[in-house]
Structure 1
């Protein structure tokens, strides 16, 4: 990725990333940060989707973003309510190819572990995802966020152990697959993450949680690749 070419970011995630109607989302918080650091035309958010999840419709059909200054082109993403690594693995290749994404910002895993797969199976799907992204664009980069604990992980020791186990496997996967041609970064999960304070329902980020997730990606981009600057959004 040449420094003279504005980076194109593809944000990938589950319900914590897509957000529901009325949420600002961490995507919005990160967009404001990067706009401050890089300028309006210094980067782009790309992807096949733009909507928020509408609880009443049980579908991603809402465009009720709280800030009307959040432009339509910056709302693009590849995130889905109830969608995890296994759902995104077959979608990421076409999304990368069609959007020309340079950098993937990925926050997946909680929904997988909660409803679909065990840690080992989830790690296998993460491998499939990263492989498909590279097949579509061999030089693509990725920043991957470990799973941040929700109230279930705090209250159910067995589930909490699954989250910890997957995060260990994810760290190993990122270390093993990273290369100079297609670098991978493991973001640092917020050390002070508190589901009681940083979410509105024990899982989905409220304002403080949105800032903390945005800061995790912003810090990785800045410290790892010199993109942007220190996060000052809070």
Structure 2
């Protein structure tokens, strides 16, 4: 059985009442991947905005493998020390990673964030040398639209992320740089300029699905609007 682990920040954990892109990708793989698979990770909850804590299990559709390693307000800085143990205990085969916005917004500059990417990859491989990884660049968000210096940091980090993927890719543990979600519009695909709404969830799921289909032949191209 192929074991996928979604790793990310608030866009990946999602909040109470949402489907999440994790659910959209699972639905897609159910109809397109020819083989058994599941999602794994040490966490299952959504973020509860009223409680200001990741304590909710109120998924819009709870009947899917909800396991993940994602956290509201967590980035590469936070996940690099956790990923080795998570991969080891959950026996993850493929990491689906969407991180970076929080790092650049609050903790580290582009160069420091890229170093944490490299630390993350090293820790994951130390736990499981044949782990595959799909890394999503920082996608459009409202702060980058309004804050030019921050937008420059995002652009710089995305260049450094691509370089890290090129430098660290190897046959036994391949790295993929996913393309940003196609036609992603923060005014149409998010509910607040950052967090995905239904169409945004589909677009993020499609970015991961497309990368795996094109590079590895996993599943097929994502059909927009799949429920």
TM-score using structure 1 length: 0.94
What is the deviation of 1:180? 0.6
3-state SS, counterpart of residue 232 of structure 1: coil
2:213 to 222, 231, 234: 222
RMSD in angstroms over aligned alpha carbons? 1.0
Is the aligned partner of 1:51 residue 2:42? no
1:134 to 113, 125, 145: 125
Q: What is the alpha-carbon distance in structure 2 between the residues aligned to residue 190 and residue 92 of structure 1? A: 25
Q: What is the alpha-carbon distance in structure 2 between the residues aligned to residue 16 and residue 231 of structure 1? A: 19
Match of 2:17 in 1: 22
C-alpha contact 2:17 2:58 (8 A) present in aligned 1: yes
**For residues 87-102 of structure 1, what are the structure 2 equivalents within 5 Å?**
87-102=78-93
3-state SS, counterpart of residue 185 of structure 1: strand
Q: What is the alpha-carbon distance in structure 1 between the residues aligned to residue 3 and residue 186 of structure 2? A: 31
What is the deviation of 1:232? 1.0
Is the aligned partner of 1:169 residue 2:160? yes
Q: What is the alpha-carbon distance in structure 2 between the residues aligned to residue 96 and residue 155 of structure 1? A: 37
C-alpha contact 1:120 1:166 (8 A) present in aligned 2: yes
1:60 to 49, 54, 61: 54
Q: What is the alpha-carbon distance in structure 2 between the residues aligned to residue 97 and residue 30 of structure 1? A: 23
Q: What is the alpha-carbon distance in structure 1 between the residues aligned to residue 6 and residue 166 of structure 2? A: 21
3-state SS, counterpart of residue 106 of structure 1: strand
C-alpha contact 1:33 1:233 (8 A) present in aligned 2: no
C-alpha contact 1:18 1:52 (8 A) present in aligned 2: yes
Q: What is the alpha-carbon distance in structure 2 between the residues aligned to residue 66 and residue 207 of structure 1? A: 11
Runs of 5+ consecutive residues of structure 1 not aligned to the other structure? 1-5
2:174 to 171, 183, 188: 183
Q: What is the alpha-carbon distance in structure 1 between the residues aligned to residue 33 and residue 180 of structure 2? A: 24
Match of 1:76 in 2: 67
Aligned length: 225
C-alpha contact 1:149 1:160 (8 A) present in aligned 2: no
What is the deviation of 1:36? 1.0
Q: What is the alpha-carbon distance in structure 2 between the residues aligned to residue 22 and residue 77 of structure 1? A: 17
Q: What is the alpha-carbon distance in structure 2 between the residues aligned to residue 192 and residue 114 of structure 1? A: 23
What is the deviation of 1:227? 0.6
What is the deviation of 1:152? 0.9
3-state SS, counterpart of residue 187 of structure 2: helix
C-alpha contact 2:19 2:59 (8 A) present in aligned 1: yes
3-state SS, counterpart of residue 188 of structure 2: helix
C-alpha contact 2:10 2:72 (8 A) present in aligned 1: yes
Runs of 5+ consecutive residues of structure 2 not aligned to the other structure? none
Q: What is the alpha-carbon distance in structure 1 between the residues aligned to residue 3 and residue 27 of structure 2? A: 15
